[in-house]
Every structure is written in C-alpha cells, then in structure tokens.
Amino acid sequence: MEALEFRENVIDVDTYLKLRASVGWKRLTREQAGRALAGSLYTVGLYVAGQPVGMGRLVGDGAVICYIQDLIVHPNAQGMGVGHMLMKRLIAYVRSLTGEGTEMMLDLMCARGREEFYKEHGFIARPTEGLGPGMIRYLDKKKADPSA
C-alpha cells in the first residue's frame, strides 16, 4: 500500500457520504451528514495517495461512554488492514479520554458477520450472562408512530 495518512476531525460531508455509499449504507441527506459529523466526538480518516479509503467516527459523552458509530472501509481497500488501523486509532483516542482510576465503556453495533473482527479488538458480543441484548429503534417521520 502506498503512503498512508491519517486525518483527524476533518472528514467533510462529501467524503462521508461517498464512503457510506461505497459500502451500501443507508442514504443520508447532506443536512443529516453535516449534523452527524458536527456532533461527533472524534473522526479519523485514512487516506492513500490523498484518496480516502476508510474512516471511523466516535460519538458519546467522552467521560463514561463512547460509541463507535461508523467504521467504513472502501471495498477496494478491504482486507488490507485498514479497518484494524482505524480501530486502533479509535480505541487509543478513547483511552486518552479515560480518567485516571476510571473506566470508559466503548460500545458499537456491528453488521452481521463482522463480530470476529471486533472480537479481535477486545469487544464482547451481547447478550452475556450479565448483559442483556443490545436494542435499537428507528424513528421515521414519514411513517405513523404506533407508540407515540
């Protein structure tokens, strides 16, 4: 792989949307993407020859909990260690926020079939004996909400 460059906290909307599209993720509006990036705790992009090949994004409070919200590797760069390099950066950033004598939760929701990748980085799958399953709810303004 050619010369690698990490860029922190400078991912722009176009790059974010292009990387999302490259892996087939749900489309976002430009406004959504801009707000998501602005609300991020930390972003890191990995570039090869000036071109983005992957990115990671953290959200959270920076004191008790952080979430890896996005970890995207362009299909042309998959299998080349890009995801591992980005994960190391994300984990190191959260470690840098963790106060002396405290611990921070670092959470994520991974796509089916990607569990082993995250286990290699110390994550555990839920549910466990002491932890229930993760849960999600989508709020869609286009549809009626039966629980409102």
pLDDT tens profile 37-75: 999 999 999 999 999 999 999 999 999 999 999 999 999
Q: What is the reported pLDDT for 145?
A: 62
Cα 84 to its chain centre, rounded Å, is 12
Number of C-beta neighbours around residue 39 at 10 A: 10
**Residue 138: is its pLDDT beyond 90?**
no
Which residues contact residue 83 at a Cβ distance below 8 angstroms, ignoring those fewer than 6 apart? Answer: 54, 71, 73, 117
* Each residue's pLDDT tens digit, 109-126: 998 899 999 999 999 999
Q: Check pLDDT > 90 for residue 147.
A: no
CATH class for the domain made up of 4-119 = alpha beta
